[in-house]
Structure 1
């Protein structure tokens, strides 16, 4: 019991140190990948600059004399500097920092190594700075990815850290594949061909969750929305044929492969079995059943008076009606009053004054 306290503190300390070390390793892996990507971008831009300046010269008045006296532009320091100046964007801190630290290597390669080592990325990023690995390898020692460097993850996935000094080499498989080696087929796919180093997975029939062949009779298990028939084939479930409606009131059901959808009824229906006014189960307010089709009710033609105020007329609309003032009348304060004519309008003060003057 006397040693419980110190032992517990030691265990906690070791645990904290382990977590810290894992954190450092994770960050280191990220940094290695970023560093390699930066180096690759620099060498890619160098190759683009090399192509861009391929047909240029010193730009002076006597190119032949300049090339004879100053050396050829093709291998000149001037051309090298023109290329190097375009390697990094001004906003890229990582790129400019790497270039500033290792700019002398470009001069070494340009004048001394280019002929023997024409692949700048390999010489600069892999062999000199050692921030990248050859394609198909990973980690500090550039170990081969699962499946070999020629075909990482057996050609069915991506190797973690591929081409960098980071990563752990685990495979992230493509959608059709799974497993440590990306040789097994995912659900919904089956093997057309398979051996220890090669696997070709093809998609199952759309009705299968898992399968061993390409047709709906090769399903090991049906997907949701499909069911096995008498011939042991997976066939679509027609959800719309069920007794209880799968859609809410005012909607009708449309069956689709493996599922269904609900669509709004025609506006003349309060409920329906399909699209259009002839598929109504009940008509909406303002409509009536006419030989199996919901049609508009003409409220204005009904015997009872629907517009009760004086000087009003009824105008039928789809599904309803409206009351308007008769011709020669206008609406004022919810009443229809006669529209005043010119003859009935009161005389203006100017007209009255003229009449008195004539008298």
Structure 2
């Protein structure tokens, strides 16, 4: 069986995605640790909002609640829920940075309402703001507002790592991910946006979505009267399926070779059942097309 080029590339990409990640990639970076701590802190704010209040003397509750909202008691409750006892690195970071969190809570949260930005980016310098990268938090390729033109991922985006280069999404290429790969055409292009759309499956390159817009046909297709048409490999003079008794079925852009039902498949032949050989030589029976 021969797969079309695009299908083969898709299968290869899927296999690469299924490969286990290296052990080093599974360990959270310092920035990820910091972000995780902040996320849990923010969840603690939600969990402790109006805690133990509801019903009764509304005026008393509002007065008491306003004190609790910014109290050290609430801070302590939040801090106690940040790390699992078994999470050594989380507890280590919390112990080392608890004074920073206390300072933000008691003195700075009104001036710096975004805890992540103040704690992880500006104070500990473990992360960068979105759209920036590296030790100095420089803007990614294409700018910090729309890195890689919105068509890719900036290396190191939001961290103190990477080089700011673009890893383009499928269909895009170029330093800023504004150009289209083979198999895609530009359906929108202006000063701020670039959109690449997949060609018809028969096209290797194209200028539009149909098989009449092909600049070059894919393998398994041929230009015929201005359009890329499927090649029926099974009807060619040179046999596509060469094993004895083997049947050929044409598919879009390719073909499949299969043994008839009941035949044993070997490297160089489709061997008929032993009982059939003993009685008579019968013509090859094609399996139903829907069984392929």
Q: Under a length normalisation based on structure 1, what TM-score does the superposition of the two structures give?
A: 0.62
Give the superposition deviation at 1:167.
Answer: 1.4
Runs of 4+ with >4 A deviation:
64-71, 286-290
Equivalent residue, structure 2, for 1:122: 117
Question: Deviations for 1:125-152, whole angstroms, at most 9, x for unmatched residues?
Answer: 1121121111111122221111111101
TM-fit CA distance, 1:268: 7.8
Q: How does 1:1-359 map to 2 (within 5 A)?
A: 34-57=29-52, 72-229=67-224, 231-247=225-241, 248-267=243-262, 284-288=276-280
Distance in 2 of aligned mates of 1:188 and 1:236: 16
**Consecutive unaligned residues in structure 1, runs of 5 or more:** 1-29, 59-63, 271-279, 295-359
Cα distance in 2 for residues equivalent to 1:102 and 1:86 = 15
5+ residue gaps, structure 2, are 1-24, 54-58, 266-271, 286-292
Contact 2:202 2:221 (C-alpha < 8 Å) held by counterparts: yes
Partner SS for 1:285: helix
Deviation at 1:241, TM superposition (A): 0.9
1:216/1:234 contact within 8 Å kept:
yes
Q: Which has the higher strand share?
A: 1
Residue 287 of structure 1 and its aligned partner are, at CA, apart by 4.9
Closer/same/farther in 2, CA of residues 200 and 65 from structure 1, 3 Å limit: closer
Secondary structure at the counterpart of residue 36 of structure 1: helix
Structure 1 67/204 Cα, relative in aligned 2: closer, same or farther at 3 Å?
A: closer
Provide the C-alpha distance between the structure 2 equivalents of 1:96 and 1:222, rounded to a whole number of angstroms: 59
**Deviations 1:25-76, CA, capped at 9 Å, x for gaps:** xxxxx9xx81111111110111111111113139xxxxx9999799833222
Please say if residues 57 and 74 of structure 1, whose CA atoms lie closer than 8 Å, have aligned partners that are also in contact. Answer: no
User: Which protein has the larger Cα radius of gyration, Structure 1 or Structure 2?
Assistant: 1
Cα deviations across residues 218-275 of structure 1 (Å, max 9, x unaligned)? 111111111111x1311111111123432222331111101111222133899xxxxx
Deviation for aligned residue 1:196: 4.2
Change (3 A) 1:178 1:268: closer
Aligned pair count reads 248
Instruction: Tell me the TM-score normalized by structure 2.
Output: 0.75
Distance 1:250 1:96 in 2: 69
Distance 1:39 1:199 in 2: 35
Higher relative contact order, structure no. (Cα contacts within 8 Å, ≥ 6 residues apart): 2
d(CA) in 1 for partners of 2:284 and 2:244? 19
- In the alignment, the residues of structure 1 paired with residue 93 and residue 173 of structure 2 have an alpha-carbon distance, to the nearest angstrom, of 38
Distance 1:243 1:41 in 2: 65
Q: Is the 8 A contact 2:141 2:164 kept in 1?
A: yes
